[in-house]
Structure 1
């Protein structure tokens, strides 16, 4: 059982208290859904890999298919999935001892599958490493706790708190609001501790039942793994208390949407922040990273806002940016530079929705900054004031976003040409599926009025 020496201490501590019954071997698909196999512990200890068809990456969110198989046709060849033992973590909500392990996807020739989301992020990180840079990120996760919703025709409603009332809205940072769903939060803390995840803090956001969890900064792949795991953790903690955790970008009308803000900094070979110079001033790399975000973010909005619902979040004066301006400690701008000392100087991308795939979103955001530094793009003049007063800079809908994504060949080279091909095909297939659905708004206003 040499694999026990390769897993994190938190996983070993869990196995000291629980007999291992099952291992969930998983990988993220394009939407961020965990795909894989549950394997009995006895079999897990004998295997070093398993197989799944590469077609899992051609599936739409609804279970449909994009015609992305390539020149060989839809033959569904198997991928070789190899465990990353460093990702092993408990599934503490299960009755029997269960570990989760994230796997990486390879072809039969041993090459990374280019359109596997974790491989996309690893590709971008490797480009940084070739320049002698170490990217550091810190995601912020916003989500809603809502009442169970089993009828899609009914609007989503906030969960009922321990007070017996629906969760409070417009009470950002309220400790009373947080206390109202304290039992759910208690389980979130417990599950996170068992899994070895460190939460930097939980706050009430502006929406009814909306919370934000901040994670400590670190390696992009490790943080994407944590967000991937956290989405499952949060759903399980909510279900235990008869509510749903949802990561929809805009689940409730007239409430703010949910974002996944990403903070970025970059270290050189000596561990120094390249955004700060010897005297603590801002460097060319700092302004070029911002310039890369301003230039290339529109072409990756399709990755950061991947569904038709995502674009309902970009509403003026509703806590989500609609622009590519940058400002210091200004939450109305799409790109914010938080207050910090020079060693911790960082740049926050506020555009991404929480409905994104964390691997792809972080990869795309880092890719924009990378291109900014490589192409020596310069930031526009710093914005001062309320950025909501200006016009929006973002594509108005998924179709327009995909047009921009398809046109940016420089971005394709960074993220991977085959990924860009598959992603566009699958997202367009999803959009066509959406167009076949008639909404309540259409029935209400078009049925008799036109």
Structure 2
């Protein structure tokens, strides 16, 4: 804290935002004067913040999901390694990501950052350390204040609405030069490392790749990047959205996760043997992904909208296949040397909470490694239109598969499984109260 006090004073910081991700990945927390933060201050949030749906409603108790008798407090514990500036604020402001503990000082099992830490700790017990590199896709869209109207691509510097089909187009990126400059500037001032930025296939769809590293640190970066990109877009009068499928007829947005595992003592990639060939653990990691990811999909595709992305012909995998440098498979092994051997999980969508998506993906690989799960044969075929979707087709089906997998109670905690499933069922019930344009168009006068 003494180092933090010096850091804040050197930058003239006046206010501190103490934030933590809720189940949806939304920043929750408190703001306070910097001098109060560095004093003997106890910060708390009501436990109910981590039991409500994305629409702010509290779902009915169901399955094993129950509310605690009293809506007690959780204590915020700042992780000072995450202290950084908030560059879009007019007054000198800093932010710090916090963990949550209960009144007895125990980590709260069902809060997202703690879920990911639990999975990483299981790797540590085996002498392993997972390494990840996320890729985040998102859309820029025109301001939309009425949810009854579809989203539309924004106007770029050319003065014309942006069109699709511009994968890796430099001119497509240049349409938003000033916005992208702000994203880079805001990121640098927070210590966030962008590896590359490209224009994706969709109209005004961009992708940012992050450098590989520790899962908790990278989840923190994605958490802050989402906020950063939204703020930069608002500065330019447009929205940035991480919805999985924001525009009908356009590709969805993914959160691809590259994963490898190193030996903690030697630093060697355990996916490769000493002669550079793939190791048994490499194959077992893939086997675990194939076996368990369908049951964990709700942590990677958390909303009704997420499953609109996972359909045929929309540049997203709908299978559990794996292959070498095959982008039509769910689990792709990119071309690399032995030290860089990794597995890319192409199923998560960009609307996922990064802590939970990483926890789910790494947990599935871990279960394969410790259980010796063998994968099927790699494929070089186009799996994009195989005629069968090998994943849950909707939110309720995904929730049921999630609850039925007993291994997840050990990996994520029984409290998290019950809480997350209950909240997701509540979100589905909220969605079912809305009448869609499709229903009005095809049912109004026809049935």
TM over 0.5: yes
Alignment of 1:29-428 (within 5 A): 29-67=22-60, 73-268=68-263, 269-390=265-386, 391-428=388-425
Structure 1 contact 79–106 (Cα < 8 Å) conserved: yes
SS of 2:174's partner is helix
SS of 2:196's partner is strand
**Deviation (angstroms), 1:401:** 0.6
In structure 1, C-alpha distance between the alignment counterparts of 2:168 and 2:184, rounded to whole Å: 18
Structure 2 contact 5–38 (Cα < 8 Å) conserved: no
In structure 2, C-alpha distance between the alignment counterparts of 1:273 and 1:73, rounded to whole Å: 43
Normalising by the residue count of structure 2, what TM-score does the alignment of the two structures yield? 0.97
In structure 2, C-alpha distance between the alignment counterparts of 1:413 and 1:87, rounded to whole Å: 28
Decide whether aligned partners of structure 1 residues 341 and 15 sit closer, same or farther in structure 2, where only a CA change above 3 A counts. farther
SS of 1:315's partner is coil
Decide whether aligned partners of structure 1 residues 15 and 335 sit closer, same or farther in structure 2, where only a CA change above 3 A counts. farther
Q: Which moved more, 1:309-318 or 1:90-99?
A: 309-318
**Deviation (angstroms), 1:66:** 2.7
**Deviation (angstroms), 1:150:** 0.5
**Deviation (angstroms), 1:42:** 2.1
In structure 2, C-alpha distance between the alignment counterparts of 1:417 and 1:235, rounded to whole Å: 34
In structure 1, C-alpha distance between the alignment counterparts of 2:201 and 2:190, rounded to whole Å: 29
Structure 1 contact 48–83 (Cα < 8 Å) conserved: no
**Which consecutive unaligned segments of at least 5 residues does structure 2 have?**
none
Structure 1 contact 326–337 (Cα < 8 Å) conserved: yes
**Deviation (angstroms), 1:447:** 1.0
SS of 1:237's partner is helix
**Deviation (angstroms), 1:70:** 6.5
- Give the paired residue count: 443
Q: Deviations over 1:251-292 (max 9, x none)?
A: 001100000000000000210000000100000000000000
Q: Which residue, out of 6, 13, 26, partners 1:20?
A: 13
**RMSD over equivalenced CA pairs, Å:** 1.4
SS of 2:245's partner is coil
**Deviation (angstroms), 1:72:** 7.0
In structure 2, C-alpha distance between the alignment counterparts of 1:41 and 1:4, rounded to whole Å: 10
Shift >3 Å, 4+ stretches: 67-74
In structure 2, C-alpha distance between the alignment counterparts of 1:22 and 1:215, rounded to whole Å: 28
In structure 1, C-alpha distance between the alignment counterparts of 2:176 and 2:313, rounded to whole Å: 27
Structure 1 contact 291–372 (Cα < 8 Å) conserved: yes
**Which consecutive unaligned segments of at least 5 residues does structure 1 have?**
7-11
Structure 1 contact 48–82 (Cα < 8 Å) conserved: no
Structure 1 contact 58–67 (Cα < 8 Å) conserved: no
Structure 1 contact 263–346 (Cα < 8 Å) conserved: yes
In structure 2, C-alpha distance between the alignment counterparts of 1:100 and 1:47, rounded to whole Å: 18
In structure 1, C-alpha distance between the alignment counterparts of 2:66 and 2:256, rounded to whole Å: 38
In structure 2, C-alpha distance between the alignment counterparts of 1:434 and 1:239, rounded to whole Å: 27
In structure 1, C-alpha distance between the alignment counterparts of 2:172 and 2:77, rounded to whole Å: 43
